[in-house]
Copies of this chain bind each other. A is one copy, B any other.
Amino acid sequence: MASPKTNPNFMNGVPELLILKLIAKQEMYGYEVVQAIRLQTEEAILLGEGVIYPVLHALERDGALKSRRQTVNGRRRIYYSITPEGQRRLSDLTSNWARLTKAIQTVIVGGQHAEAV
């Protein structure tokens, strides 16, 4: 046997994190989320609708988001807002992300405590 224990897909959940965070700040609909990520990250992160919509549905299914329908200018929008469960989830994802980036940063900067092998 090889690997003793690893982490389940350690780099995942970032789209989920971004979506939850944006909606936590302010009720949003799917198409709006796609644009918001593009704009706020200045094109550094480009997540298409094929990513956003399925995540939105999954989050609602899990009770992290709830939705309401509204038609504006003849266009049907589905507004999502965060639930207490979603807040918890967002909090988990955020701290996990911090932990990960800190760990990676340590390796990238590296060399301080190491060498002693």
- Which residue numbers of A lie inside 8 Å of B, CB to CB? 2-3, 5-7, 10-12, 14, 17-18, 21-22, 25, 36-37, 40-42, 44-51, 94, 97, 99-104, 106-108, 110-111, 114
Contacts and interface: CB of A to CB of B under 8 A. Distances in A.
Contact of A7 (B10, B45, B49, B104): B45
A14 to B, nearest CB: 6
Contacts of A5: 46
A contact patch SS: helix
29 contacts: A2-B50, A3-B49, A6-B46, A6-B47, A6-B51, A7-B46, A10-B46, A10-B47, A11-B11, A11-B12, A17-B104, A18-B107, A21-B110, A22-B107, A25-B110, A25-B111, A36-B114, A40-B110, A40-B114, A41-B103, A41-B104, A41-B106, A42-B103, A44-B99, A44-B100, A44-B102, A44-B103, A45-B104, A97-B108
